Amino acid sequence: MIATILMSLVLATGPKPQATASVPKAAPKMDTKAQHDKRMSWFRDARFGMFIHWGLYSVPAGYWNGKEVPGAAEWLQYTAQVKPEDYEPLQQQFNPVNFDAKKWVQIAKDAGMKYIVITSKHHEGFGMWPSKLGTWNIGHTQFHRDPLKELAAACKEGGIRLCFYHSIMDWHEPDYLPRRSWDTRDASHADMDRYVQYMKGQLKELLTGYGPIGILWFDGQWEDTWTHERGKDLYNYIRSLQPNIIVNNRVDTGRSEGGGTAKSEDFVGDYGTPEQTIPANGIPGQDWESCMTMNDTWGFSAHDHNWKSSTTLIRNLIDCASKGGNYLLNVGPTSLGEIPDASIERLAEVGAWMHKYSESVYGTSAGPFPKALAWGKVTQKPGKLYLHVFDHTVSSIDLPGLKADVKALYLLGDPGKTPVSFTMDDTGIHVKLPAMPDEASTVLVIEIKGKPVVNPVLQQQARDGSLVLNAVDADVSGSNAQFEAAKNAIGFWTKQEDTVSWSFDLKKAGFFHVRVEVACEDVSKGSKFDVTVNNQKVSGTVPGTGGWEKFVSLDLGTLKLDTLGKTTLTVQATSLAGYAVMNLRSVKLTLN
């Protein structure tokens, strides 16, 4: 099988070889669970990587013909509809004389990152290594070096795993289909099978010339010329060249909207790839990695200054780890080969936090709590729970429903492990917070004997029978809606079918007035929703409140609750008028 593939790879320097008979489509290499776990183990331990988007797009850097081009800078050719012949001169302008692989690796290491995923080829089709296939690559520029080779050496020296991002979609290679609407080149001889052989030939160069590669990070798989069959074949081809490599799920066509891999067919890909978001409940049963920008663009843009704070970046990393996933944080180097200062500054601050607290991230798994916590996030290792406290305005925190044989509780980083006081009852463990430094997240360690057990705790009515159902305690069902600590509300409710519910212990029956606390940007107002309990409902229409963080109360009417015991209240949208249904902070039930 491998010989067949290699035989069909004509490393042409002239016109592309005639399309060979497509290589037999072998079934993907299926590892045993033990083999898969072994291959994934470094990825699960790492939790934190650097994404690097670097290509010819760094030359225009978000401008074309003197005009600012909106959106992601690596999409400039598409956004500005630049014909290949007008884009090609960038090749002779590209000369990253300040590129310093060792410096890049040191920046990543100092930030606490364990792997680097760099674009070997983005959608522009330009190879960032001196490929022998064609001339649309760095080998045909005035920069007579191989940055990927230099990065491979620096990563090896620095103990960082090198990984490649490779776009299946290619706006330059004549055989790739479909063409862009503004690409006026003759497409009558374009041959997708021949393109796949070309892509495999370039991938063979990358997987045989740069040492062991940690991940092949495919992208651009969404066009209809890329099929499930091609995906399985490519996955198998990559693994045939480096059996221990990890391949993301964008090699195939099974990536679901939330970034995970659909279960419906034999889709391949070793982990899910949510992008610019952190799944509300992780992606249960799958490895996953959230890739995110530090501003709003992947490639360098001279006009994008919308930088996230280092606190946001640190909390994103913790959030990913608390749900069993990785955080792949992007930098977009300039055309001179320099990582922007704004990125370097933030990565240094992330690194300072990791220097103190990385034990609570590396090698951890998702915390044991099924719902979001108001005060922060929890990760765990055998025998330890790590409590990441974001909210420094509170004097105590609750671990709802937790039962554990607690051996010690102290601040991570406290050499004396000064005991932190706590109480335990049938509603869980309640920690009295010590004085803590004001930082992105302070971390407490609970050392326990055995495994933590979390028994769901039903909310109780107040003495007057009232109930305040807060967002942090909600059960959220669906892929997008999730608790947003910053707004203390359910946000990202961008899918109508997502639902929000609470269960509580009804001891006092009667007629309850229903009031909800909602926020909605004016342009998205008008979504309709029901609040349902035991087949009874009241309904509402979301008003414009002036912003996603501006909350107002809506009185919806009365519900009769007369079935004592566990009761579930559900909020579901019956229409979606704009970007999202609403941000929902609470549902208040007042006994009439």
Beta strands in 83-230 (DSSP E): 115-121, 161-167, 215-219
Q: Looking at the chain, how many residues does it have?
A: 592
Q: Which is nearer to ligand FHN, 74 or 270 (CB)?
A: 74
What is the DSSP pairing of strand 67-68 with strand 115-121?
unpaired
Distance CA 39, CA 52 (A): 23
> Rounded to the nearest 10 degrees, how much is the dihedral formed by the CA atoms of 204, 206, 210, 213?
-90
What is the DSSP pairing of strand 376-381 with strand 384-389?
antiparallel
Q: Which is nearer to ligand FHN, 51 or 357 (CB)?
A: 51
**429 C-beta neighbours (distance < 10 Å), count:** 23
Residue recorded with tokens 């609040």: 531
Residue 385 · residue 445 · CB < 8 Å:
yes
Candidates 236, 243, 279; CA nearest to 261 is 279
- How far, in Å, are 69, 141, 155, 302, 363 from residue 66 at the CA level? 9, 24, 38, 12, 48
Q: What percent of the chain is helix, strand and coil (3-state, nearest 5)?
A: 25, 30, 45
Radius of gyration of the chain (CA): 26
Q: Which is nearer to ligand FHN, 71 or 465 (CB)?
A: 71
**Residue 509 tokens, joined:** 């029956």
Q: Which is nearer to ligand FHN, 13 or 181 (CB)?
A: 181
Candidates 512, 494, 575, 580; CA nearest to 541 is 575
**Minimum distance from residue 298 beta carbon to ligand FHN (Å):** 4
Candidates 485, 385, 382; CA nearest to 440 is 485
**546 C-beta neighbours (distance < 10 Å), count:** 12
Q: Which is nearer to ligand FHN, 74 or 338 (CB)?
A: 74
Distance CA 4, CA 146 (A): 30
Q: Which is nearer to ligand FHN, 202 or 572 (CB)?
A: 202
**Minimum distance from residue 71 beta carbon to ligand FHN (Å):** 9
Residue recorded with tokens 């409940």: 281
Q: Which is nearer to ligand FHN, 118 or 446 (CB)?
A: 118
What is the DSSP pairing of strand 161-167 with strand 63-64?
unpaired
Q: Which is nearer to ligand FHN, 252 or 473 (CB)?
A: 252
Candidates 471, 485, 88, 489; CA nearest to 315 is 485
**222 C-beta neighbours (distance < 10 Å), count:** 11
Q: Which is nearer to ligand FHN, 255 or 346 (CB)?
A: 255
**Minimum distance from residue 223 beta carbon to ligand FHN (Å):** 11
Q: Which is nearer to ligand FHN, 301 or 358 (CB)?
A: 301
The answer to whether the bond into 174 is cis (omega within 30° of 0) is no
Q: Which is nearer to ligand FHN, 75 or 483 (CB)?
A: 75
The b/e string for 189-208 (b: 16+ C-beta within 10 A; e otherwise) is: ebbbebbbbbbbbbbbbbbe
Q: Which is nearer to ligand FHN, 291 or 506 (CB)?
A: 291
**Minimum distance from residue 264 beta carbon to ligand FHN (Å):** 21
**Minimum distance from residue 116 beta carbon to ligand FHN (Å):** 14
What stretch of H or E contains 76? helix 76-79
- 137, with CB counted inside 10 A (0-12, 13-18, 19+), is buried
Q: Which is nearer to ligand FHN, 133 or 168 (CB)?
A: 168
Helix/strand/coil for 328: strand
Q: Which is nearer to ligand FHN, 75 or 198 (CB)?
A: 75
Q: Which residues make up the interface to ligand FHN (CB under 6 A)? A: 72, 74-75, 219, 275, 291, 298
**Minimum distance from residue 296 beta carbon to ligand FHN (Å):** 12
- How far, in Å, are 362, 517, 545 from residue 555 at the CA level? 47, 9, 15
Distance CA 252, CA 154 (A): 31
Helix/strand/coil for 487: coil
Helix/strand/coil for 231: helix
Q: Which is nearer to ligand FHN, 219 or 319 (CB)?
A: 219
Candidates 371, 215, 235; CA nearest to 288 is 215
